[in-house]
Amino acid sequence: MRVHLGSDHAGLDLKGQLVGWLRDHGHEPVDHGPFVFDAADDYPVFCLRAAEGVVADPGSLGVVIGGSGNGEQIAANKVEGVRAALAWSEETAALARQHNDANVLSVGGRMHPLEVMTRFVEVFLSTAFTGEQRHVRRIGMLSHFEQTGELPPLPESARGHGADA
């Protein structure tokens, strides 16, 4: 499987390790940078390219890496068709695929040891989407909103309450 990678300086070490790990495990890494350490680099430059790579390459997945993974997830989610999830455990990495059919994983290079984050990526890549109707329905709502800007209808139980009242 092709795996598109992008990071900033805080994720550079993990990204470098992942390139080798991916090759060793039969995957094809596509590195969108950075390629040298620059403490002043900007994660959107690389993470947006990795996310666009995933969308343009059906069947591929992506991994974006920063200090916390938060900004990188936000950047990747700006690309139409991307569902990026932040993983902080093996369980969140698995659930990202099982329930959300996430196609990009975000991890924080300063949050866990390299071996632990590599395991998050391994779990993400080896886990399939369940395809359960409730998950398909929810992803459909998000995709519809992403394409049209139209909010999903409120359920009957929520009408007359809150901001939409």
Instruction: Per-residue pLDDT tens, the chain, 165 aa: give them.
Output: 999 999 999 999 999 999 999 999 999 999 999 999 999 999 999 999 999 999 999 999 999 999 999 999 999 999 999 999 999 999 999 999 999 999 999 999 999 999 999 999 999 999 999 999 999 999 999 999 999 999 999 998 887 766 655
Domain count, the chain: 1
For residue 29, give the CATH number of its domain: 3.40.1400.10
Q: Check if 99 is active-site.
A: yes
Residue type, 21: W
- Is 165 a member of any domain? no
Q: Which of 9, 27, 52, 72 is catalytic?
A: 72
pLDDT of the residue at 159:
78
Give me the catalytic one of 99, 115, 146, 161. 99
Rounded to whole angstroms, how far apart are CA atoms 118 and 124? 10
- CA distances in angstroms from 131 to 1, 138, 150, listed in the order given: 20, 11, 24
- Tell me the β-bridge partners of 4: 30, 62
Q: What is the DSSP string of 31-52?
A: E-S--S--TT--HHHHHHHHHH
What pLDDT does 113 receive?
93
**What residue numbers bound the domain in which 139 lies?**
2-154
**Taking the model in full, what pTM does it have?**
0.93
What pLDDT was estimated at residue 163? 62
Q: Which structure tokens are listed for 56?
A: 């343009």
